[in-house]
Chain A
Amino acid sequence: MRGLLNRIFLVDLFQGLWVTFRNQHPKYIYTEQYPAERPKVAERYRGAPRLNINPDNGETLCISCNLCALACPEALIVVTSERNEATKRKDLTTFTYDTSRCMFCGLCEDACPVDALELTQDFEMATYTREGQIWDRQMLEEGPKPTQYKC
């Protein structure tokens, strides 16, 4: 009997509709208006790579130890250096990082002994060309500069 009444009065459908009705409330709006309203990613977010420089004198922190290149599963980091006879240390010459093959796993960041290489919170890395995905030392130090949209 109950089942029959439930069927006639479409109880199950109204029950479901009540759920959707409850969720109409504006406080349940989750849509992010992306280019205008930018998401705040977490502190540990693994995004665009950055090669840190010493803020005082603008010199790179990288000691050209090549550990990041060895740690990377995709072998996409290439570090070259030359020996500086005056300081008896290796000086970084070039540093390339192919973001198109990177899977942002963070292993290179873990391997770096001086925290020179870091994955940052920048997430907008789209380019128009394939070559644009290969970042050189300058790009890595400055970071991407995405266009900001306001509305």
Chain B
Amino acid sequence: MPDSTFLDSTELVLNMGPQHPSTHGVLRIILKLDGEKVLGTECIIGYLHRGVEKIGENRTYAQFNPYVDRMDYVAAISNGLGYCLAVEKLLNVEAPPRAQCIRVILTELNRIASHLLWLGTHALDIGAITPVFYCLREREEALKIFEKYCGARLTTHAFRIGGLLYETYDGFEQEIRDFCAMFVPKVDEYEELLTNNRIWIGRLKDVGILSADECKEYGVTGPVLRAAGVKWDLRKAQPYSGYEKYDFEIPIRQNGDTYDRYIVRMEEMRQSVRIMQQAVEAIPEGPIMGKVGKVIKPPVGEAYVSIEAPKGELGYYVVSDGSTQPYRLRVRPPSFVNLQALDRMIRGGLVADVVAVVGTLDIVLGEIDR
């Protein structure tokens, strides 16, 4: 690309964010533009840094549990599951089957809630105002189930180390069944609004392409990786919490563009419904709490557990020195790793596509800055 155009204009450096509504939080992107073309980007993060990993070192294992909800606040339950699994691995206990089953149901419901928020805001960024209302309407139903189950809608603190604290409420199974039955037609409705819409296709097709090899180079996971044609889902690759018992598919697409990522996520919502439907029919009876003492004091050692969060691979690495507090706690947030690929995806594209690409990565800044 020539340094200047025939009009002899110069490059323009533009700040996007941190208050820009389409950056989904407080992300600042410095764009280098030549007219409408993006020559390069740089992401500035850290506006939401709260030092969560450091807080973890100063709290007991049980006390840190509510903090993980505040990283990826859109998918708090997945975060809680990852943390609880990591500490359980350190303690060498396993949650009872009933607890595992309820955990799976709630995590899948949370995946749907997270994808719905993504779909609504992504469409809003691109200019489709309507889907966000419908998406939030259905998300509300999911949040109501969380509220009834554990008493909070967003920062749920639903799971405890070793199992669950709360038993299911009366009518929980029926509500999950109703939600599943209600939700599948709604996904079709969103698709009716968007999938064939010419503006939607025009804005998304061949925008922000990330090939499978590039995904692997950057360590990108989740729907972004699957849209590039790599069949990698930790729920199948390293099943946890009894995911091996459920029959579901990993949706993949080949092109790795923004449109494919949209299709993959829509399909994932349907698969989540399938998992929930199977799990809710098979909730075993039994205790919900494993053998964990009142004071959690894991033996010296370390554990890494990664799970498939709605946004990709979410890992928790916990080092114990035998005391009641973690010696070191490290989180591998999917959004943080996925955001690295932004520059590769948008370089050479148009400035209008930046919001589309930021939206399609489905980032949450709480998790990136921690």
Contact = CB atoms under 8 A, between A and B. Distances in A.
Interface of A: 7, 11-13, 15-16, 18-20, 23, 28, 30, 41-46, 71-73, 103-107, 110, 119
Given A45-B147, A73-B64, A104-B152, A12 B169 contact: no
A46 B197 CA distance: 43
A13 B197 contact: yes
Contacts of A42: 144, 147-148, 151
B198 interface: yes
B151 A106 contact: yes
Given A12-B197, A12-B198, A30-B140, A46 B66 contact: no
28 contacts: A12-B196, A12-B197, A15-B192, A15-B193, A16-B130, A16-B192, A16-B197, A18-B192, A19-B130, A19-B193, A28-B137, A30-B137, A30-B140, A42-B144, A42-B147, A42-B148, A43-B148, A44-B147, A45-B152, A71-B63, A73-B66, A103-B66, A103-B70, A105-B65, A105-B66, A106-B157, A107-B62, A110-B165
B192 A73 contact: no
B59 interface: yes
A35 B118 CA distance: 29
B151 A103 contact: no
Nearest to A46: B151
A46 B156 CA distance: 10
A73 B59 contact: yes
Nearest to B64: A73
> A-B pairs with the 7 shortest C-beta distances?
A105-B66, A73-B63, A44-B151, A46-B151, A42-B148, A12-B196, A42-B147
A103 B189 contact: no
Contacts of B166: 44
Contacts of A41: 147
B280 interface: no
Contacts of B62: 71, 107
Contacts of B152: 45-46, 104
B169 A44 contact: yes
A38 B154 CA distance: 20
Contacts of B130: 16, 19-20
A28 B137 CA distance: 9
Main secondary structure of the interface of B (DSSP, over half): helix
A106 B159 CA distance: 12
A15 B62 CA distance: 51
A11 B196 CA distance: 9
A30 B132 CA distance: 14
A17 to B, nearest CB: 9
B196 A15 contact: yes
A105 B169 CA distance: 19
Nearest to B190: A19
B192 A44 contact: no
A110 B40 CA distance: 52
Interface in B123-181: 130, 134, 137, 140, 144, 147-152, 155, 157, 165-166, 169
B248 interface: no
Given A12-B196, A16-B192, A20-B193, 18 more contacts: A7-B198, A16-B193, A16-B197, A18-B192, A19-B130, A19-B192, A19-B193, A23-B134, A30-B137, A30-B140, A42-B151, A44-B166, A45-B147, A46-B151, A103-B155, A104-B152, A105-B157, A107-B63
Nearest to A41: B147
B67 interface: yes
A148 to B, nearest CB: 22
Contacts of A71: 62-63
Contacts of A30: 137, 140
A46 B149 CA distance: 11
Contacts of B64: 73
Nearest to B188: A19
Nearest to B149: A44
A119 B151 contact: yes
Contacts of B66: 73, 103, 105, 107
A13 B199 CA distance: 9
A23 B169 CA distance: 31
Contacts of B157: 105-106
B62 to A, nearest CB: 7
A16 B129 CA distance: 12
A118 B152 CA distance: 14
Nearest to B62: A107
A40 to B, nearest CB: 10
A33 to B, nearest CB: 16
Contacts of B165: 110
A119 B157 CA distance: 14
